[in-house]
Structure 1
């Protein structure tokens, strides 16, 4: 483990301490480590766009839109190799939220997500991609 010191403007340090309080970090080292890991993962995603990933696609859609639910289901079946699971929630009389868990080559996952979000009647879509060697034991720790 390496140690280093950083200097921050007072206003940035105060904002960082408020961030720690909101997110439940117990110390600055832990918070900096988490921020660095998140930022570096985003950078890897931008530079390793062709690698393996897992992803979460969430979108709201109007279930009264003509045959939209059937079109969405057909798309997911057509990409069954990428689709792990789907969760469907009724928000109100006309809107539903779906969350689709995906796994596969990042380029294919993004193309599928874009195709699904482009369907007429789909609103508020967002894709969260996590790049990495999926299935490889990279943590070397045990879950009890």
Structure 2
């Protein structure tokens, strides 16, 4: 059953609205309401991820070079150390000896943030980010 919608009125400067309309068109939103709902949901997820034990699911994406000695081994050790939270990973070969790795993770938001920081701050990792959702993966095995 769909969540009932509530109509609200918002007053914002015309210049901000024009920029917002441009962004929502570029991103392919069908209307302002859809775009605003997505932005609000993202903010709510970010705020709820600050709760100490809020369990969340998400991805950690990192980009790095294969030319850095022992980096892949270090990243694997970190993932193995957090095997309860790292559900799966995708390893993609990019050009010029670069790798994109996407980890599917689930657990307390604070712990996922710590894991992401541990991975992203490894010497040789070019960039990375954590993306969380309040929707979690169903248990794989029932007791």
Deviation at 1:25, TM superposition (A): 1.9
Aligned match for 2:10, one of 6, 14, 39: 6
Q: Which residue of 2 aligns with 1:65?
A: 68
RMSD: 2.0
> Whole-Å Cα distance in 1 between the matches of residues 129 and 29 of structure 2?
27
Q: Which residue of 2 aligns with 1:134?
A: 136
Q: TM-score, normalised by structure 2?
A: 0.80
Deviation at 1:100, TM superposition (A): 1.0
Cα gap change, 1:119/1:20 in structure 2, threshold over 3 Å: closer, same or farther? closer
> Could you tell me whether the CA contact under 8 Å between 2:85 and 2:105 is conserved in 1?
yes
Cα gap change, 1:73/1:49 in structure 2, threshold over 3 Å: closer, same or farther? same
Q: Which residue of 2 aligns with 1:15?
A: 19
Unaligned 5+ segments in structure 1 are: 137-144
Aligned match for 2:47, one of 43, 48, 54: 43
Aligned length: 134
Matched, 1:89 2:92: yes
> Whole-Å Cα distance in 2 between the matches of residues 8 and 114 of structure 1?
36
Runs (4+) off by over 3 Å: none
